Amino acid sequence: MTNWILGLTGGIGSGKTAASDYLASKGIAVVDSDLVARAVVEPYQPAWSAIREHFGDAAINADSSLNRGWLRQQVFANPDERRWLEQLTHPLIRARTLEMLAAATSEYVILASPLLLESGQQTLVNHTLVIDVPEDIQVQRACQRDANNEEQIRAIIKAQIPRPERLARANDVADNSGPLNQLYEQLNRLHQSYLDLAKAHHSHE
**Annotated binding site for ATP, which residues?**
13-18
H or E segment and range at residue 141: helix 135-146
The rounded Cα 158 to chain-centroid distance in angstroms is 17
Binding residues: 13-18
* Nearest to 85, CA basis, from 120, 61, 53, 115: 53
Given the DSSP bridges, would you call strands 109-112 and 127-132 parallel, antiparallel or unpaired? unpaired
**C-beta of residue 183 within 8 angstroms of C-beta of residue 176:** yes
**CA-based angle 135:125:167, to the nearest 5?**
25
Report the C-alpha gap between 113 and 118 in whole angstroms. Answer: 10
Strand order in the sheet with 127-132: 29-32, 109-112, 5-9, 127-132, 172-175
